[in-house]
A and B are shown apart, each in its own frame.
Chain A
Amino acid sequence: MTFHITVDGREIPVVPGQTVGAALHAAGVRSWRTTRFGGRPRGLFCGIGVCFDCLISVNGRPPERACLLEAEPGDEVTTA
């Protein structure tokens, strides 16, 4: 029942309906961008679309909140 998305070229499994953030977290990927000034790693924090820490670019689109965005089969995400 699972499908896959790729993170920096590596396949990770997704249960249908999971967000990109949940799938990454489940695969042990807990940070995927760095901050502008301090270069600090960031991933999920509020988990419900409020904090914007989890911004991620999927399929080359402008950054979106990983905690809200449902993963689609074949999605390609890149981490910083």
Chain B
Amino acid sequence: MTQDLTYDLVVVGGGPAGVAGALTAALAGLRVTLLDSGARLGGQYFRHAAVPRREPGLDRFLRQVRELGARADVLTRHQVWNVSREPDGDVTVHAHTRDASGERPVTLRARRLLIATGAHDRPLPFPGWDLPGVLTAGGAQALLKGGNVLAGRRVVVSGTGPFLLPVATGLAGAGARVLGVYEAGGGLGLARHPLLALGKAAETAGYAAALVRHRVPYRPRHAVVAAHGEREVEAVTVARLDADWNVLTTSIVACDTVAVGYGFVPQIELGTQLGCDTRAEPDGSVVLAVDAAQRTSVPGVWAAGEPTGVAGWAQAEVEGRIAGRAVVADARPQAVRGSDGVLLRRRSRGRAFGAALHEAYPVRPGWQGWLRDDTLVCRCEEVPLARVREAQELGATDARSVKLLARPGMGWCQGRICGYAVSCLAGEPPAPPRRPIAQPVTLGALSEAAPPDAGSQDDPAH
């Protein structure tokens, strides 16, 4: 389906950044459409069940969603797999959706694009991490928020970063027995948690109180370094770590579920498809470079939220509004009212928070010592560490050659899950993703989406 309508703005991603950007533009009278892969808007933070539970901030977000729905075309369950820029500067967005009649392609054209695609968990491999019952921290959270389902009964939470705290308290509050929060970093304990130093004292105190109330032990400088079980996880090895995350001592904890996360991977492939400039964050993630108005290096393309640097939902919303105002200024300069001053100051504070997070929760190299020869590094292609090392002995000196020789990152997820680990194992910083097709798509949808003159345009992904 190709629509004749050319939108003033197309927004990809319906979390706080995308909704704020789309609503800002729609309120100024622009013709806006927003696409999201989920059944309901919200992204990860405002993910909610069909009948939403009461959560701080969710009511306000859902009001924004209702306002947006009255003023813009909101397309849920739409997966965007490619964006390209036309010779006249317009952006073509290729998506697919599934309805009663089957999968069908959707092609949209717009003058401007806002990339608000969020981020996903960054896992690290360890022996047994592919056993059912081992989930990402975000996965456990998504089950709870999106479906009111407990990931398990006896749960261990492990990884690094402040996100472990809401995951653990959320699970405990919903009735799971949380056997421990094992924070690989932060040798200081919860009483001197880095969040405190970041001006989040009330939030930290709330989590701390909830952990105490549910008798959840919080153990800094500890991590799950192996999961054990036949068909599902039945126990984990928890290790006490030194400052570089080398194992000092271990113990076994019986459990049925593990929730792990070592930070986040911003989803930037739509930007790299268009040739947007990227930059490296201190924690090794690659993000889209944006200017003061959230504009990327490619004309007509804005980005907001985690794809420009992980700093949480409040920052994402601020960036979305700034981007929305900049889009309005670009389309209808006379429609812009007021100044961005307050928003810009809030964004500066948010950025400082994000930078401080990266400083406070670095991933240390000792995790590589948790792996055994037969530990899968890539879950999709089932590539064990031994094959990665073999590729390196054959002369693969960088992540790309390791991938070509041993195939980690060449399966269904396209390296989203193992990419960071493979880069670390290859001893280099992660490179920007090169994914001309951002979501798996059927050949039928591909051929239907191809315009008659396909192939005559420059493809910035190559």
Contacts and interface: CB of A to CB of B under 8 A. Distances in A.
A36 B381 CA distance: 9
B413 A51 contact: yes
Interface string B109-141: 000000000001101000000111111101111
B39 A37 contact: no
B232 A31 contact: yes
Interface residues of A, number: 34
Contacts of A70: 39
B306 to A, nearest CB: 13
B149 A18 contact: yes
Q: Is the interface of B mostly helix, strand, loop or mixed?
A: loop
Interface string A10-42: 000001111100110110001100011110111
B240 interface: no
Contacts of A15: 49-50, 147-148
A77 to B, nearest CB: 16
A53 B379 contact: yes
A80 interface: no
A45 B147 contact: no
Greatest chain B CB density within 10 A among A30, A31, A47 is at: A47
A22 B149 contact: yes
Nearest to B379: A53
Interface centre among A31, A38, A50, A52 (most CB of B within 10 A): A50
Interface in B162-209: none
B295 interface: no
A56 interface: no
A24 to B, nearest CB: 9
Given A22-B147, A70-B39, A35 B139 contact: no
B38 A68 contact: yes
Nearest to A69: B98
A16 B412 contact: no
A48 B44 contact: yes
B10 interface: no
A41 to B, nearest CB: 5
Contact of A52 (B37, B132, B232, B412): B412
B73 interface: no
B139 A45 contact: yes
A37 B120 contact: no
A43 B132 contact: yes
B431 interface: no
Interface in B25-59: 37-40, 44, 49-51
Given A45-B130, A47-B138, 5 more contacts: A16-B50, A17-B49, A18-B147, A38-B382, A47-B142
Interface of A: 15-19, 22-23, 25-26, 30-31, 35-38, 40-53, 55, 64, 67-68, 70
